[in-house]
Structure 1
Amino acid sequence: MKYLHIHGVGKEISRLIMGTGDLRKLEEPELTMLDAYIAAGGNTFDTAHQYRNKEIILGQWLAEKNLRDQVVILTKGAHHDDGSPGPRVNPQAIRKDLTESLERLGTDYVDLYALHRDDPSVAVGPIMEELNEHIRAKRIRAIGASNWAFHRVQEANEYAASHNLIGFAFNSPNLSLAKANEPRWEGCVSADEETCLWHASKQLPLLAWSSQAGGFFSGNFSPDNRSEEEMVRVYYSENNWERYRRAVILAEEKRVTPIQIALSYVLHQAFPTCAIIGPRNPEELQISMQSMNLLLTPNEIEWLDLKKEEFAQ
C-alpha cells in the first residue's frame, strides 16, 4: 500500500480508500472484504451521514476489531437529501449531522470531515467558522469539501486564511479517466481540466470518488449495449470510447487490464490523489492494489486523456 499525508491528520492515509456505500450488514462477505483491506495495508474508510446505517456497521466492525486508533475515517455531512428537503449547507445541519455521525460510528472524533454538497448561495464565512469550532473541540482533525467547485474551495480557504482559521485540507470531487457528460447524481461535481490545473498549482490532495467510472473500463459495456441507463447518460460519448480504446491498447502492452490502467490514471496526476474504491471481493481488491503499483508516464497519461495523438514507446 502507498500513503499520503493530509495536514491535521496524525496518521498517513492509504491512497486506496475503502468505500462503505455497499455495506449491508456486519457479516460475510462484507467482513472478509474489510479484513482483506486491512491486511493489504489499507487504513482509510469513506462513509457519510447520508449513508445512514453504513456508519453504524463500520463503527461496530472497528469496535469489534479494536481498530479505531489505527484507521482514518472520512465521513461527510450537509447533504441536500438527508433529512429536511432542500439545501442544508449551514451551521445547524453541519452540527446535527456531525453529532449523529459520531454517535453512529462510536467515536468522539473523525479524522476527515467533508461537506457532501455545496450551496453556492450560502456565504463561506459561517461554514468555515462552524467547521473550525469542531476542529477546536477535537471532533474533527481535518476538513474538506466533496462536490464543491474549486473556486468555492479557494474562496473558503481565502476566508479561513484572512480570519486565522483552518481551511480545507482536501477536496473530494469525482475524478476518473472517463469524463462525465453530466452529474451522476444531482449536485455532484467532477474534476475538469481547470480543476486539475488548480489542484496542481495548490498541491491540494484530491480524494476521488467513482475513480473507476462505475466500471466503464471493465469490458462489460460497449457503444451498442445501452441497457444500463445511468452509464449511457453519464459516460457514453465518443471521447470516452476513444479513452477506452487507448486504455485497452496500453493494457495489452503492459499486460494488465483496462480498468487497472484507468485506476492508475487517477493515482498518477500532477497533484496528490487517493482513489475511493468499492471492491466486491478480495480478488478485486488485489486488482486495485496492482493498479496502485502500475507506473504510467506523464506522456501516457496525456495520451490516455486525448491530449496527445501518440506516445513514445
Structure 2
Amino acid sequence: MEYIQIEGARKPVSRLIKGTDYFKHDTYEKAAANLDAFLAIGGTTVDTAHIYCGGESEEVLGQYMQERGNREALVILTKGAHHDQHGPRVNAEAIRSDLMTSLERLQTDFIELYGLHRDDPSVPVGTILEALNEHVEAGRVGAIGASNWTWQRLQEANDYAASHGLTGFTFSSPNLSLAKANEPFWPGCVSADRETLDWHEQTRLPLLSWSSQARGFFTGRFTPEVRDNEDLVRVFYSDDNWERLRRAGELAGQKQTTTIQIALAYVLNQPFPTCALIGAQNREELLSCDEGAKINLTREELNWLDLK
C-alpha cells in the first residue's frame, strides 16, 4: 500500500480509502470483517459522513475501533454540513452540531480529515473558514477539506486563509473517474473536469476521489443495451465513455490485469497526489483494488485512456 501526506492529518493517508456508506448495526460483523481485511492490506484511511445510514456508519466505525482497540491505526475522514430538507447548512452552527455528533458516534476526540460535504456558494468563504478554524484550534480536527466544491471556490478559500492567517483546505474530494459524468450523480455533486485536474496539478492539493471506479461501470456488467440501472445510464452512459471502457479493456489485456483495475489505476496515476475511495465489500474485492493500486500508467497511457 502506498500513502500520501495531507497537511494537518498527522498520519500517513492510504491511497485506498475504505468507504463505509453501507455500514449498519444489523450488518456489523460484515463491516468489521471488511475493516480487518482492509487493515491487513495496509489500509489506514476510512471514509464516513454525518449523514451516512442515518448516522449508523459512524456508530459502527466507533464500535469497531472500541472493540478492536485500534483507533491509532486508523485515519478517519468524515464529513458534515450536508443540506437537509430545508436547504443548505454550510454555517457555523451546523458545522459545530454535526462535528460534535460525529465525534460522539465515533467515540473519539479527534478526526484527522474533516470535510464539508457540500458547498453553499452564497456563504462567503471567510465565514466558513473561520468556523472550521475554531475546531482546528480546539484540537478536534486536523486537516480540513471540502467535498463537492469547485476548484474556483477552493482557490478563493485558500487565498482568504493565506491572507488572514488561517488554516486553509488541504484536500478536496470530488468525483474523479475514467468515466466522465454527464450530470451530477446527486444534486450539488462535483466531478473533476479538465480545468479541475489542471488546477490540482498546479497546486498539488491532494484529491480524494469518491466513486473512483464509476460505481461499477468498468466491471463488465454494463453495455449500451443493458439499461437496468437508471442512475448509471443517466450519469455515465455516453459514446465517449463506451470508448474509454473499450480502451481500458485493451490496455488491461496488454498488462495482464482487469478493466476495472485499469480504471482504478487511472485515478491513482494522476500527476498530483490522489487517493481513491473504494466500495469493496469483501476480501476479494479489496485484493483486486490493492492490485489495481500497484499498476503504473504513463502520461501517454492516461491521455489515451481519456481520449486525448
- Counterparts of 1:149 and 1:128, CA distance in 2: 16
Aligned residues: 305
Q: Which structure 1 segments of 5+ residues have no match?
A: 308-313
User: Does 1:24 find its partner at 2:27?
Assistant: no
Q: Please report how far the alpha carbon of residue 295 of structure 1 lies from its aligned counterpart in structure 2 after TM superposition.
A: 1.1
Equivalent of residue 65 in structure 1, options 57, 68, 91: 68
Deviation string for 1:198-226 (max 9, x for gaps)? Answer: 00000000000000000000000000111
Normalising by structure 2, what TM-score? 0.98
- Counterparts of 1:16 and 1:218, CA distance in 2: 18
Deviation string for 1:52-77 (max 9, x for gaps)? Answer: 11100001101111111221000000
SS in 1 for 2:29: coil
- Counterparts of 2:73 and 2:230, CA distance in 1: 40
1:70-149 mapped onto 2 (5 Å cutoff): 70-81=73-84, 85-149=86-150
Q: Please report how far the alpha carbon of residue 27 of structure 1 lies from its aligned counterpart in structure 2 after TM superposition.
A: 3.2
Deviation string for 1:263-311 (max 9, x for gaps)? Answer: 000000011000000101100000000001011111100000000xxxx
1:185-264 mapped onto 2 (5 Å cutoff): 185-264=186-265
Off by >3 Å, runs of 4+ in structure 1? none
- The equivalent of 1:300 in structure 2 is 301
- The equivalent of 1:15 in structure 2 is 15
Q: Please report how far the alpha carbon of residue 180 of structure 1 lies from its aligned counterpart in structure 2 after TM superposition.
A: 0.4
Normalising by structure 1, what TM-score? 0.96
Identity %: 60
- Counterparts of 1:136 and 1:221, CA distance in 2: 48
- Counterparts of 1:225 and 1:257, CA distance in 2: 20
SS in 2 for 1:221: coil
- The equivalent of 2:40 in structure 1 is 39
Tell me how large the CA RMSD over aligned residues is.
Answer: 0.8
- The equivalent of 1:311 in structure 2 is none
Q: Please report how far the alpha carbon of residue 30 of structure 1 lies from its aligned counterpart in structure 2 after TM superposition.
A: 2.1
Q: Please report how far the alpha carbon of residue 120 of structure 1 lies from its aligned counterpart in structure 2 after TM superposition.
A: 0.5
> In the alignment, is the contact (CA less than 8 A) between 2:28 and 2:60 conserved in 1?
no
- Counterparts of 1:31 and 1:114, CA distance in 2: 24
- The equivalent of 1:291 in structure 2 is 292
- Counterparts of 1:196 and 1:36, CA distance in 2: 32
Deviation string for 1:155-190 (max 9, x for gaps)? Answer: 010111110000000000000000000000111000
Matched AA of 1:79: H
- Counterparts of 2:95 and 2:30, CA distance in 1: 33
Q: Please report how far the alpha carbon of residue 32 of structure 1 lies from its aligned counterpart in structure 2 after TM superposition.
A: 1.5
- The equivalent of 1:6 in structure 2 is 6
Q: Please report how far the alpha carbon of residue 28 of structure 1 lies from its aligned counterpart in structure 2 after TM superposition.
A: 2.8
SS in 2 for 1:31: helix
SS in 2 for 1:17: strand
- Counterparts of 2:2 and 2:234, CA distance in 1: 34
SS in 2 for 1:160: helix
User: Does 1:152 find its partner at 2:153?
Assistant: yes
